[in-house]
Structure 1
Amino acid sequence: MCEVDQDGGHMRSAEHPSFSKACVKCKVHPPAVLLRVGDPFCRGCFNEYFIHKFRAMLGKNRIIFPGEKVLLAVSGGPSSSSMLRQVQQGLSINAHKKLRFTPGIVFIDEGALTGRSLEDRHKTNTEIRILFESTGFPFHIVSLEQVLELPTSVLMWPHMSSTDRTSSYKVAVGEFDQNQSCAFQPPYQQQEPADMNKAHTLELQLLMASVKTHTAREELLNMLRQHLLLHTARTEGYSKLMLGDNCTRLAVKLLSSISLGRGAQAALDTGFSDSRYGDVIAVRPMRDYSAKEIAYYNHLFDVPSVFIPGLDFKTPDKNSIQRLTESFVTKLQTEFPSTVTTIYRTSEKLQSDCKAASAVDDRPLCVLCQCALDTSAENTSAFQATLISEQLSQSKCPKDCLQSLTDDNGEIPESERGHCNGQPALTSARSEDKTKSAANCSSQCHGDGGCCSSLSNKLEPMELKTLLCYSCQLTVKDMTSLEHLPRYIISEAQKRLRRFQMRAEISSFLLD
C-alpha cells in the first residue's frame, strides 16, 4: 500500500507491521518460524510446541490404551510422514512423555489408478520400504488391487465380547507398567509387497472407468481404501487405525462432504475418533495441525517424505467437487488466515445422529461407507421431496396416471413406485423371480440365511440403492454398470437383500 507524504506530496510505500525479533516463548533466540502474526517461534520452541500438540491430543482423548497395537496409515505425504516421526520420537527412550502403544505401518500402492508403469511403482515401493525400515517398526506394503480379494467379513459388524474395554484407562496404565519389565518384545516382521496381478489391475481400472464423474470416482476410491485398511488392521491384530488427516484437509473434507450429502456422517468423517467399524477405531491425531505448520516442521527437521501422484494430480479446479472445495478454501485462507481454523472449530462441535451400531443392534448399515442409513426420513423432509422429484422426472406416465398413484399428501407410496411405463413394481417382480429360482434349488444352499440360486442373480441398481446412504446412492448413480464392483460388496448386498426378503415373509409371525 502507499501513503501521501505531507511535506512534498510524494507517494511512499506503507510500512509493514513490525514483528518481534525474539521468540515469543523463550524471549531469547531469534525466530525461525512465523505461524501467525505476532507468534514467531525459534527452532527449539517450535519443536517442543509441535511435539506437545501431538501428545496432548492423544492424552486428552484417552482412546488408545497402553499396550494396544496401532496401525499407522502412511501414504508418504507430508502429513502422514510427520505423524510417523512423532510416533517414532514418542517411543524413544529419552522421550519426556513416552507413548505406550505398539505401532505398525501400512502403505497402499494406488499406482494402478494413475496409469503408472510397474517400474515406477516398484521404484516408489522401494523408497517407501527404505523409509519404513529406518523406523524399526513392522510395515505392510499392499497394493490397491488386493481390495478385489477381500472377504465379505469386512462389511460385517464383528462379534465383540461384552467384557472388552471394561477397565478404565488408569487401570490399563497400571497393568501395562507392571508387565512392561517382564514383557518380551518379539523381533519386528516386515511384510513385503505382494506381486501385482495384471488381471486385478485391469479389473480395478475397469471399475474406475465405469464411474462417469471424478467426484464419484474419488468417493469410491476413498471407500475402497478404507476397506483395505480395515482388513489389514483386523488380519494383523491391530485395534486402532491412525490416520494422518490434518486441519486443512479436514476443513476441505467437511465442506465437500456436506456438498455431497454426507452431512449426517460429517462428525465421523472429520472427528478425532471414528468407531463405525466396531472392533477397529480410526483416530486422527494430526487434526490440530495446519498444512503450513507441517510444512515448516518437515523442512526444519528434515522429515523424509515420498511424492506420489494421486488420482487428482494436475487436474483443474472444476474437475470435481473435492478439488473445487480445496481450491476455494486454500485461496480464501491466503486472504483470511483464520478460514481453516473457523471451519475446523465448527466441525469439532458436530455430533452424528447416525450413531455406530452394535452387535445386538438391528439398524441397517450402508454397504459402502458402513454408516447408519440416513434414508429413513419423514415424509416432510427434503430427502423425501428429492425422491418424489426424481420419480416424477424419470416417469413417462401420463398426468392422470401420476395423479392416480399419489396419495392424499401428494406422495407416491413405496408399494406403487416402479409402476411407471406400464411395468410392475420392481420389488414384486424380483421377489417372484427369486421365489421361482429358490424352488428349484437342492441341497447346495449356504448356511448364511440365503439360497444358492440367488447368488447368480444380477444385482440391480434399485436393489443396491436400498442398502446405501444418501451420499453413496449418488456415487452409485454415477456408475454405468455394477458388474465391476468388487465381489465382496455384491455378495454382502445380495445376502442382505435375501435376509430382508425372508424377514418380510415371516414378519407376521415375529413379536414386536
Structure 2
Amino acid sequence: MCQVDEEFSVCLEKTPVPTVSKKCMKCKENTAVLIIRVGDAFCRECFKEYFLHKFRAMLGKNRVIFPGEKVLLAVSGGPASISMLTQVQEGLSRNALKKLRFVPGIIYIDEGGACGQNAEEREKTLSQLETIFRKTGFPYYMVSLEQVFGLPDSTLEPVSCGPERPGSSYKEAVDRYIQQKELEQKLGELAVEETQNAVDLLSVQASRVPLEHSLALEKLFSSLKTLTAKDDMLQTLRQHLILHTARLNGYSKVMMGDSCTRLAIKLLTTISLGRGAAVAADTGFSDARYGDVVIVRPMRDYSSKEIAFYNRLFGVQSLFIPGLDTRAPEKASIQRLAESFVIRLQADFPSTVSTIYRTSEKLHTARPLQTSTAEPSAKCLLCLCAVHNKADAASAFHATVISEQLSRGQFREEARTDQVPQGPFGTPGASCCQGEGQSCGGGGCCTTERTPVLPDLNTLLCYSCRLTIKDMAAVDSLPRYITSEAERRRRRALLKEQVSEFLLEDGEEEQE
C-alpha cells in the first residue's frame, strides 16, 4: 500500500523523448529533420537516398519488369501514386545511379461520375492532373469511368501469358537492352512531337462522355444498396478499365501505388469481405490473374508516414480527390471501418501496420491462379480470382445455396424450362415453329428483338462478388461486356454438359 509520508530515496528517471535535434543515424554528421520510427532519424539528404533506394531495391529484388517493357503507371492523384510517379522520373533521369530500363506510361481513371462530382469539379481535377502529367514527358491516358459501358465483349475473356522470353535470363535481357540503346543513339532519336500529338488526342477523347453512358453509370450505382457494395464495384470496374487500356496500348505491366498502410487495410478488408483465398493476389508484389498483364506494387514497403514526409520535404504535389467514402461515418462500410481500425491502432501501437503487412508477405497464390491456362469458369466473372463454389452436403455453404434457390423459386423455373422445345445440343429457347418461314410473331421465340435472359450469376462469382451482386436492386444494369461473358460461359458449360459422356477425364485410359 502507498504511504502518505513515505519518502523515496531514489529519484525517478524520466525517459528522454526522441527529438529532431539529434544527429542523422546514417551519416552521423548532419542534424536530423525527421523521425520515421523510434530511433530512426534522418537528415534531408540521407532520407532521400533511403527513399529512392527502397523503390529500386523492390524492383531489383523481384525482377518482374524486364528492360524495354512498357509499364503503365496507375496514378490516382493521391500522395502514394504521385510519389511513385516521382520515383520513376528519378530513376529514368540521366543522373540516376541505377537507371530504370522500362518504358513508362500514365493512366488516370476519372471516377467523378460515381462519386457525385459535377462537371466543373471533374474538369478542374483533369486540368490539374494534366499539368502534372505533361511535365513528366510520359504518354498519358485520362479515362472516365463511364467508358466501362463501351468496353468490348472480349475484355473478360482469358488471355494466355504467352511464350517465355528468349533466354529467360534477366542479365541477358539487360545486355540486349543496352545494345539496343547504343544502336538507337547511333541512328538518332525519334521525334517526340508525334507522340505528344497522340497524347493530346487521347486526352480530348477521354473528356467526351456519351450521355447514355453517364445515365447507365448512375443507374448502376443507384441500384447498389450499401456503400460496401458500391466501393467494391468501383474497384472492379476501375481494374477492368486499366486492364483494357493496357492491352490496347501494348503495356504488359501495370504499377499500382498501394503503400504498406493501404495494403494492411486492404488485407483486413479482403478477409472481412470473404475474399480470403485472394488475399495473396490482392496484396502481393505481383498479381498475374489477368494473364498477359501483370499488376505490380513497388510502393508496398513504404508507410503513409514516409510518403507524406517525402512529399512535404521535396515539394511533390498531390491532389485531394473526393471518393465514395469521403465524409462518411466509420461504420458506413466495411472498407471504411477497416481503415479507421488500422489507423487508430497504428497511432497507439506503431508496429500495427508492419505486423499486418509482414503477415501478407507469407501468403502465396496457388499455381493455377498465376497462369491463365485454367478453365474460364474456374475464375470469378468480376474479379477473375479463383472460384470455390463446390459445396459439400450438410455444410453451411450448401444450406445457404439451397435457401437462395428456394427463395428465388429456381426449382420451379427449371421445371418450366424442361417443357421448352430443345434445339441443337439441347439448348433451351430454340424455335418453336415447325415449318420453314413461319414465325411466332408478337415478340415470340423466333423474333430477333427478344431480350436475352440474364443467366444466374451466382455460379460464376466468388463469395465476395456474390455478396456485391446480391446488394444490387437491378442486375441488368451491369455493363454489357459482363453479361455477354456470363452468357458465353453459360453456353460453354451447357455444351460441355451435353458432350461430357464422350470425353475422357485426365489420366483415364481408353478401354478397348
Does the TM-score normalized on the shorter chain lie above 0.5? Answer: yes
Inter-CA distance 69–18: structure 2 relative to 1 (3 Å threshold): closer
Identity %: 52
Structure 1 unaligned spans of 5+: 398-416, 444-450
- CA distance in 1 between counterparts of 2:421 and 2:467 reads 25
Match of 1:478 in 2: 471
Match of 1:265 in 2: 278
- CA distance in 1 between counterparts of 2:165 and 2:297 reads 22
Equivalent AA in structure 2 for residue 322 of structure 1: Q
Aligned-partner SS, 1:483: helix
Give 1:435 shift: 3.5
Inter-CA distance 18–478: structure 2 relative to 1 (3 Å threshold): closer
Give 1:307 shift: 1.4
Inter-CA distance 261–65: structure 2 relative to 1 (3 Å threshold): same
Tell me whether 1:375 sits opposite 2:389 in the alignment: yes
RMSD: 3.0
- CA distance in 2 between counterparts of 1:133 and 1:307 reads 19
Tell me whether 1:226 sits opposite 2:221 in the alignment: no
Match of 2:493 in 1: 500
Q: Does the 8 Å contact 1:72/1:104 carry over to 2?
A: yes
Q: Deviations over 1:348-395 (max 9, x none)?
A: 001223732645433521110011212235447xxx413304534875
Aligned-partner SS, 2:106: strand
- CA distance in 2 between counterparts of 1:396 and 1:172 reads 58
1:33-44 aligned at under 5 Å gives the runs: 33-44=34-45
Inter-CA distance 352–294: structure 2 relative to 1 (3 Å threshold): same
Match of 2:346 in 1: 333
1:248-287 aligned at under 5 Å gives the runs: 248-287=261-300
Give 1:437 shift: 2.5
Q: Does the 8 Å contact 1:354/1:374 carry over to 2?
A: no
For normalisation by structure 1, the TM-score amounts to 0.86
Give 1:15 shift: 5.2
Out of 317, 327, 330, the residue aligned to residue 314 of structure 1 is 327
For normalisation by structure 2, the TM-score amounts to 0.86
1:176-187 aligned at under 5 Å gives the runs: 176-183=177-184, 184-187=189-192
Structure 2 unaligned spans of 5+: 438-445, 506-512
Give 1:440 shift: 5.7
Equivalent AA in structure 2 for residue 368 of structure 1: L
Out of 392, 396, 399, the residue aligned to residue 385 of structure 1 is 396
Inter-CA distance 152–357: structure 2 relative to 1 (3 Å threshold): farther
Match of 1:366 in 2: 380
Match of 2:510 in 1: none
Q: Deviations over 1:119-169 (max 9, x none)?
A: 111111000100001111111111111011001221011245434465211
Inter-CA distance 98–436: structure 2 relative to 1 (3 Å threshold): closer
- CA distance in 1 between counterparts of 2:8 and 2:165 reads 80
Out of 451, 455, 458, the residue aligned to residue 456 of structure 1 is 451
- CA distance in 2 between counterparts of 1:64 and 1:73 reads 16
Q: Does the 8 Å contact 1:250/1:344 carry over to 2?
A: yes
Match of 1:101 in 2: 102
Match of 2:482 in 1: 489
Aligned-partner SS, 1:225: helix
Inter-CA distance 18–87: structure 2 relative to 1 (3 Å threshold): closer
Q: Does the 8 Å contact 1:354/1:371 carry over to 2?
A: no
Inter-CA distance 48–371: structure 2 relative to 1 (3 Å threshold): same
Inter-CA distance 33–222: structure 2 relative to 1 (3 Å threshold): same
- CA distance in 1 between counterparts of 2:97 and 2:332 reads 46
- CA distance in 2 between counterparts of 1:220 and 1:236 reads 25
Out of 204, 207, 210, the residue aligned to residue 223 of structure 2 is 210
Aligned-partner SS, 1:112: helix
Give 1:97 shift: 0.3
